[in-house]
Amino acid sequence: MIAIYPGSFDPVTNGHLDLIARGAMIFDKLIVAVAHNLEKDPLFEVKERIELLEAVTFDWKNVEVDVFDGLLMEYANTKNARVVVRGIRAVSDYEYELQMAMMNRHIEPQVETVFMLPAQQYSYLSSRLVKELARLGGSVKDLVPPIVAERLRAKVGKEDA
């Protein structure tokens, strides 16, 4: 079965990798789909996010990194995916994700949404917090893969990030 794990991944965190690793064990193929989200002001360009994701998911042979624009359900149909994987860290995530899952079911009833909880050590982790910490000069070394920490340091111009 093919599943899609969509997101902005700006940047990819260890929490994302936790879900990717577990999703790769469950599904025959997991497509990590980087969304072109015009509402957000990304730190990394889409091309950079894809490069980082490809570098950190290289060892999982059933994980593919791709980019999509437009409706997720249309993209899922083009990929023959029947599952969308979404991570939920807190009740606030659940409320938003439930709305999205129900709208996606309305658009395409054949695609199911599967909610996954991150490992406990990543339950507070978000790309937004990682970027903020890096911009303020804090260390992100335990929050993101080393290559991402390196690229964050270069982007924000802080040595400790």
User: Which active-site residues does the annotation give?
Assistant: 16, 40, 89, 127
Could you say which DSSP state residue 118 is in? Answer: P
Give dist(CA 136, CA 130) in Å, integer. 10
26: helix, strand or coil: helix
Strand order through the sheet with 63-68? 63-68, 29-35, 2-7, 83-87, 112-116
Residue 110 exposed, middle or buried by CB count within 10 Å (0-12, 13-18, 19+)? exposed
Q: Are 140 and 131 in contact (CB under 8 A)?
A: no
Could you say which DSSP state residue 161 is in? Answer: -
Pick the closest to residue 31 from 86, 103, 105, 81 (CA basis). 81
